[in-house]
Amino acid sequence: MVSKNIEEYLEALYKLTQNGRVASTTQISRSLRIAAASVTEMLKKLARKGYVKYSPYAGTKLTDKGSRVGEKVTRKHRLLETFLHDVLEIKDDMIHRQACEMEHSLSDQAEEALCRFLRYPNKCPDDGKIIPPCDMQFSNCEECLERTRKGVEEIGRREENLTPISSLKEHHIGKVSFIRGDRKVLQRLLDMGLIAGTKIRVVRVAPLNGPIEVAVRGSKLALGRDIASNVFVEVLKDQP
């Protein structure tokens, strides 16, 4: 069981270290509004527990273990913000604070049910940031809906950390692991040759939120940002 305090730190680090960045103690201190000396002590503790790699001068980044926890809490927070905004119509200035209070007590089972109820949303209504994917071993949302309709109880958990294609850099290589969206989205991607297990390489990332060009099985595809943000890949280690 991970404490609320540790979850807060890992959530902040998850947001600060996206796209391979390293977080400084000052950045973490500002994000959490906690004194730098206290942050340093906690980072040492998190390093001992295997959640982060910490260096006083080089900064801090999450380990795979820490990233999974940070991503899970971030996912719960953004799902809750979506629920509070779209369903309960809570005032915008209260949504973030309310979600912060609720995220630590939301069980994994409730998180999964909330995602299905909201029809697997992809972006947070507050800031438009991508909602991380679930960690269940499904290759797409339709598979999740079908399995849960049948009352399947034993569903494995995904160990690898996934990244949306929209967050990859040029020349990065990944293997498609999860696709978010309804049947229409799934069929469109299937027609393009993007299915679970497909290896992709980013050829070009257009500026100003333009399309992302990827190489797939000898062909090149131009993916709009909305599509690219809903195709999650396991980033392969053999990067150039």
Instruction: State the pLDDT at residue 230.
Output: 92
DSSP 3-state assignment of 168? coil
Which structural domains are found in the chain, ordered by start?
1-132 (1.10.10.10), 163-235 (2.30.30.90)
| pLDDT tens across the length of the chain (240 residues) | 889 999 999 999 999 998 778 999 999 999 999 999 999 999 999 999 999 999 888 899 999 999 999 999 999 999 999 999 999 999 888 999 999 999 999 999 999 999 999 999 999 987 888 999 999 888 999 888 887 777 666 678 888 889 999 999 999 999 999 999 888 888 888 888 888 899 999 999 998 889 999 999 888 999 999 899 999 999 986 555
What would the two tokens of residue 173 be?
């290589």
CB 92 within 8 A of CB 126: yes
Residue 51 carries which side chain, given as an amino acid letter?
Y
| Beta carbons of 220 and 202 less than 8 angstroms apart | no
Q: What is the pTM of this model?
A: 0.89
Q: Are 114 and 79 in contact (CB under 8 A)?
A: yes
* Residue 15 vs residues 31, 35, 101, 105: alpha-carbon distances, Å: 10, 19, 18, 20
* Residue 238 confidence (pLDDT): 56
Q: What is the pLDDT of residue 239?
A: 54
Q: Determine phi and psi for 177, rounding to 5 degrees.
A: -120, -30
Sign for the CA dihedral angle at 194, 162, 148, 82 comes to negative
CA-to-CA distance for 153 and 123, rounded, in angstroms?
Answer: 28
Name 232's bridge partners: 164, 178
How far is residue 97's CA from residue 108's CA, in Å, rounded to a whole number?
A: 20
Helix residue spans in the chain (DSSP H): 4-16, 25-32, 36-48, 64-82, 92-102, 108-117, 141-149, 183-191, 225-228
Rounded Cα distance between 4 and 8, Å, is: 6
- Report helix, strand or coil for 35: coil
Tokens of 82: 């979506």
pLDDT value of position 151: 67
Task: Tell which residue, 138, 142, 149, has the closest CA to residue 119.
Answer: 142
Whether residue 52 contacts residue 62, with contact meaning beta carbons closer than 8 Å, is answered with yes
DSSP 83: I
